[in-house]
Each structure stands twice: as structure tokens, then as C-alpha cells.
Chains A and B, each alone.
Chain A
Amino acid sequence: MKERSLVSLDSWSREDIEEVLNHARELKRRLAQGERFSFLAGKNVTLAFYEPSTRTRVSFEEAAQLGGARTHTVLAATSSVAKGESLVDTVRTLVAAGADALVLRHPAAGAPALVARHVPVPVINAGDGAHAHPTQALLDAFTLWERLGSLDGLTVTIIGDIRFSRVARSNITAFTRLGARVRVAGPPTLLPPGLEALGAEVRENLEEALRGTDVVYLLRIQKERSSAAYLPSLAEYSRFWGFNEERLALAGPKVLVLHPGPANIGVEVSAGVARSPQALFTTQVTNGVVVRLALLHLLLGGNDYASRS
């Protein structure tokens, strides 16, 4: 692995991504056989979360501990942030206290890039503003890759709030790097300019976007979008862009449905679709742990699988 940190997937090649996927598959297989690891033994993985998160935080903690690392989780509300300490000073303190890697979740786009410039340890972006959520993209890519063998030639349609979604940006990058075509669809107010430059095809019409797609990727719709005039109402969103049984049928019986969670049932996805066998929401969460474990191993540990006895 050339990269030392994971701020975004922009600088990652297809080979870099495949290295993580292959490694995650191997770790998943060994875990299933009851193998336990110690390749992160003695390492301190510190999570600095400046934004509430349950699934990403728990997933990283579980991954680090499966590898044998110690973890510390710093939540912004309980840290010195409240005392006005700058982000750079806070992360320097965490490194001085022994962090061998920093996992950062932050509401400001670019915060992990800033941190990576100022600390000598690997920085893993666990989501920054509307910029990137690269480990989510890796686990989503892994979920499809594991299921279908390859993303080459696949068509993935991402639906929803593209404007404010870090998940959309990272997934467009990851999916296209792995050979998939990515379409995006959603309310025009939530489709920012320049999506084509990221590698996506913009489809104004949802029904047209769904035709011939292999994968539907649904984004969470934040309630506050309707108070800020981006959307008239969640009900209207649901009517025109919500993914329901009717639209599932339009996409065809083989389509797979992904969602980064937590899903707003009845807004971007209907209860029926969420419960359908095509929906891989739970698999995504399970895979999140092994993908993050693989990443931590590649960034922090050696190449051995030294098992804990």
C-alpha cells in the first residue's frame, strides 16, 4: 500500500482499492473459520468523532479490536473542543498521548486533509462534511464485489441528496475506479454542478435512470433539507424519488439495493423494499467491520496474519 493515510479515494488507483477488497475477503474467510488476529497488537487506534455516529464508530472500534489494537474514542462534546482548542492542537495532543492512527469524523469538509498535514501518523477519514466517506465506499464496493465477483460493466444508480452527500462522492469514485458506470438521480436542487467531472452521468428522470441498472444506491434524506428550501417536503420527495416496490419492479428482479444507513423508511425507501431480499443493508454493516480491519492492517500492521493463540 503506497498511501499512508486515507483522506479520500481520489488518489487511490484501482489496484489500491482491490488490495483492500482482496485482503478483506481473506480476513473474512479466516474470521469465519474462528481465526483470531494480533497484527495490530500494541497499536493505539484513536477515534476522534466531532459528529454523532453510531455505526461508523462501532464498526471502527470493533475492527481495531479484532486486529488486537487498543482503541480510544474521543467525542467532541466531551473533549477540549468545548474549551476552544483548535482541531490541529487537539489531534496533536492525541498523537502525543500515543495514537498510532487517527480515525476522524468531522462536520467540516477537508478536516482530515488538514489533520493529515499536521500529524505524523496515518489518518483515516470516517466522514468529513459533504466531502468524502471513503471507508463507506470501500465497504459498499466490497459488498457488490463479493456478491457479483466484479464491478466491471455494472451500472449503479445513486439516488437522492447528492449535493450534501459524502457517501455519494466517495462511491462515485470507488465504483468508477472498479469499472462500473455510475448514474445519479435526484431532485435538481440536490444535484450540484460538476458531477460529470467526478465520473457520474446525471439523469433527470428517475424512471429512465432505473432502466437497465444493476444496483440502486439510496442516500439518506436529511429532514432539514425541506426547511432550507431544497425540498418542499419529505412526502413530495418520497412521491417522486422514493424507492418503492413499483420502482423496484421497474429496475428488474436482479437489481441489488444498498443504503449506507440509517434508512428513513417511508422517505427514500419503502418498508417493502427495505425488507426485500434485494436489499443488502445488513450485509453492508457486517462487511464494514472486515473492510476497516483490512484497511487498518494495510496501513498499520505488517503483512503477516500472526494469529492470537
Chain B
Amino acid sequence: MLLALKGGRVVDPAGGVDEVRTLLVENGRIAAAGRIEPPAEAQVIDISGKLVLPGFWDLGAHARRLSPARLARITATAARGGFTAVTVLPDTDPPLDSPLLLYGLRDLARTVTPLKLWPVGAITRGLGGAELADIGSLADAGAVAASDGHRQLTSAQVLYLALQYAAYFRLPLFLYPEDASLAQGGVMRESPESTRLGLRGIPAAAEEIAVARDLLLAKHSGGRIHFLGLSSAGSVKLLRRAKEEGIAASAAVTPHHLLLAAADMPDYDPNFKVRPPLGTAEDREALVAALADGTIEAVTSDHTPASPEEKEVEFEQAAWGASSLAILFPLLYTYLVLPGKIALNTLVARLTGGPARILGRKEPTLAPGSAADLTVIDPEKEEVISAAALPPEERNTPFAGRCIRGLPVLTMVNGQVVFERKGVEENA
């Protein structure tokens, strides 16, 4: 079947394109692109006034549980958010530390979703931080990176060896930098707010010490590291200097760290309990600047579903994390692109080319011959984020009540429509 997406503004950073053009999709690929008239036999979707972007890649979703229902839900939410590829971090129950689990996950993914679902394997067996997992076999089984998730590798020796070993298999290590002793017992950034609320604080030093250590270990091991989320201006400074020095390191930042600070939390709102914890307004500004100038190469969802029962408990016991895949792009479009803090082209690059480079893959593009993985955005349509309208396990968002624009209206993977929001005109 031949499909024509007509009249949309194609923003394709990898292809160097930002213009209104028609895309012809056939056999799962972009067959042709440009100011062309769709052939008579084509099914035409008129998307005038909309944006057409390469499908987003997310490198940091937490499934938490490995059930078919959970995977189906996460990928459906990702599609709704304009994502066509999602990685699943290994801090699941059970952890993704054996090749058999990865094969199983791959087969399961095929039955529940047309999206690309890439597993990240464990660095250490059982995420225990002591013995290396079978990293080579995990790579063989499809792991795109190795990580112990939020479990800290407190042993520099283990991380040093893991970096050397994983480099042989060309796998980057995905790390959450956090010094375990400084972070112990903490539930938010140490700040005037943590003092007022009487909550145990985690100083910014907890992250910066780990960033510095991990960068040095990458330098001396020859391995490659990627930070799954930074929260402090000091970390950005360390990363910038390391990159200038040529250390193989990259980083991502989440929508909550780009748009929120610890002081924005309504008293004890568990939906603001994220890891790393939210920092200061200065941290937030530094992260936005680093995203704009490319020091931080990717935006990541840090999507972490949690049921109301896991959140509506004492703050210190509440589950960490926020759900964000569905609203990530509209949030950043509304609060970073529209006010002119970051260019649209840059935001798209941080959701496509940036993640691809981190994985050592070809940057996704909408040039002829490429896979038809794309999303169509309505830049005008406005919506208020309503937690009640979300599935129970995805109501954990700190952005409820915010007005957003730039909602995905159609997402396609290999030419197949995987999500469609009502209201897109369709002409046969």
C-alpha cells in the first residue's frame, strides 16, 4: 500500500531538512520525499499545518515489572508520545541479567508491540554490584547497553573492569551517578525546602562526586559511559570539561529536571519524588543550556510507572519516579521551544540523533530509503494534562494541570500506524 503524508512541515535534523514536503510511504520505508503530487493510487493523509518528525527514541524507561501487560502499556504510551523506539532498563523484577530473559523479552515484545523495544542488560549479576553479568552474551541477545539502573556500583574496581569488558563488545554503560553514602536515606535534594519539610536531603555533591569518578574511570578504562539523568549544574560542568578532553561520555536529561526545581514541589507531593532528585532553579537553567549547546545530547523520559497505592503513602516510602513518555514532547515544545529557550530542530535532534549516537547507531532520518518511523505533531492543539484521564499506573506526573501544545496526533513504525489521535483528516 502506498501512503502519502501531505502538507506537513518536515523537520529532520539528520537529513538537514526543515520544509513543507510530502512523504510517500511504501513497504515500511520512505519511498520518496519532496514537493511531489501523490500518485492516484496513494492513500493521502492531509497533515497541513502539522509537523512531521522522525520517531523519537527513548533510552531510559523503567518497566519495573516484566509482564506482557506492563510492556504493552509502556509501548502504547510511548507511541502516544511520538516515540518509535524504547529501551527498557534492567532494574526490573526479575532483573535483566541473563541472556535467556532477553530472548524472552524480545519474543514477548514482538507479540505486544510494533515499536522497537530494546533491552539494556545488567552490568552485574542480580544488580548486586559484585560479579559481572554475562555482558557479552547479553549483547549477543540484543542488549544495546549495560546498566545496573539505580543500583549503585559502589566499587570503583567493578565499574573499571565492567568498562574495559563492555568496550570489547562495544556496549556503553548507562549510569545514574550517585554516591551511595551521601544519598543514603535521602528523598529530595538537600535544600531550604528539605529543611522546611523535615525530609532527608541528598546534597548535589552526591551526584557530582559520582560523575567525576565515573568520568575518570571511563578515561582510564577506554570504555564509554552514558549518564541516564543529570540534575546539577556542577555535573554539567564536569561533563563539559571531560568531553573537551575527549573522554567517551554522554548524558541525558529528563523533562522534570528541565522544567522543575525542588522548590516547585507542593508539600510532600509524591509525584515530585524523582531520582536524581530535583535541584535548584540554577541547576535547571544549566541543564537547559547544556541541552541547547549539545553538552547533553539526549532527552530521556525516565518513565517510571507507579500505582496510586505505591505513591499515596508516607513520602519517604513512596515509590520513586514519574511517568512521562506520553507528554514529554508537548511539555518541552510548550515550555522550551515556544518561549525560545531551545530551537525545535535542536529538541528533535536530542530525541533522535542524540540517542542514536549514544547507541552507536545511524541517526534516524526521513530521507528516502529510511524506515518510515515518524510522528506527526499538532503544534496548535492545546490540552490540559489531566491525571484522572491517564491509566492509574501513569498518574504519577508532576505536570498535572499544565497546559501543553504540540501533541502527537499520529505515530508510525515501519510505515504502520501505531497511534492516531482523533481529529486528523483523512482523504481516500
Contacts and interface: CB of A to CB of B under 8 A. Distances in A.
Given A128-B198, A129-B198, A169-B198, A106 B193 contact: no
Contacts of B312: 86, 88, 114, 118
A108 interface: yes
Interface string B179-192: 00000000000111
A133 to B, nearest CB: 10
Contacts of A206: none
Contact of A169 (B191, B196, B315, B317): B196
Given A108-B316, A110-B268, A192 B309 contact: no
Interface of A: 10, 86-88, 106, 108-111, 113-114, 118, 128-132, 163, 166, 169, 192-195, 197-198
Given A110-B267, A110-B268, A194-B191, A166 B198 contact: yes
Nearest to B184: A228
Interface of B: 190-201, 267-268, 309, 312-317
Nearest to B203: A193
Nearest to B266: A113
Contacts, number: 74
Given A132-B198, A194-B191, 8 more contacts: A88-B312, A108-B314, A110-B314, A113-B268, A131-B199, A192-B194, A193-B192, A197-B192
Contacts of B313: 86-88, 114
B194 A106 contact: no
B195 A192 contact: yes
Contacts of A118: 312
Contacts of A169: 195-196, 198
A249 B295 CA distance: 59
Contacts of B201: 192-193
B255 to A, nearest CB: 25
25 contacts: A10-B196, A86-B312, A106-B314, A108-B315, A108-B317, A109-B197, A109-B268, A110-B314, A114-B268, A114-B312, A114-B315, A129-B198, A129-B199, A130-B198, A131-B197, A131-B198, A132-B198, A163-B195, A166-B198, A169-B198, A192-B190, A193-B191, A194-B192, A194-B194, A195-B195
Contacts of A111: 314
A148 B197 CA distance: 31
Contacts of B198: 109-110, 128-132, 166, 169
A197 B196 contact: yes
B351 to A, nearest CB: 35
Closest 8 CB pairs of A and B: A194-B192, A131-B198, A130-B198, A110-B268, A108-B314, A109-B198, A194-B195, A192-B195
B268 A198 contact: no
A28 B51 CA distance: 72
A114 B316 CA distance: 12
B315 A194 contact: no
Contact of B195 (A87, A106, A132, A193): A193
A110 B197 contact: yes
Contacts of A132: 198
A88 to B, nearest CB: 6
Contacts of B200: 130
Contacts of A114: 268, 312-315
B184 to A, nearest CB: 10
Nearest to A128: B198
Contacts of B196: 10, 169, 194, 197-198
B193 A109 contact: no
Contacts of B309: 86
| Most chain A C-beta atoms within 10 Å of own C-beta, residue among B193, B200, B268, B313 | B268
Contacts of A10: 196
A134 to B, nearest CB: 12
Contacts of A106: 314
Contacts of B267: 110, 113
A87 B268 CA distance: 15
A207 B315 CA distance: 38
A193 B190 contact: yes
A7 to B, nearest CB: 9
Contacts of A195: 195
Nearest to A110: B268
A86 B195 CA distance: 26
B190 A109 contact: no
Given A110-B197, A114-B268, A128-B198, A87 B191 contact: no
A114 B308 CA distance: 13
A86 B267 CA distance: 20
Contacts of A86: 309, 312-313
A169 B196 CA distance: 7
Contacts of A130: 198-200
A108 B200 CA distance: 10
Contacts of B317: 108
B140 to A, nearest CB: 42
A194 B193 contact: yes
A129 B197 CA distance: 9
Contacts of A88: 312-313
A169 to B, nearest CB: 6
A106 B313 CA distance: 12
A61 to B, nearest CB: 24
A86 B318 CA distance: 11
B194 to A, nearest CB: 7
B196 to A, nearest CB: 6
A38 to B, nearest CB: 36
Contact of B199 (A87, A109, A198): A109
Contacts of B316: 108-110, 129
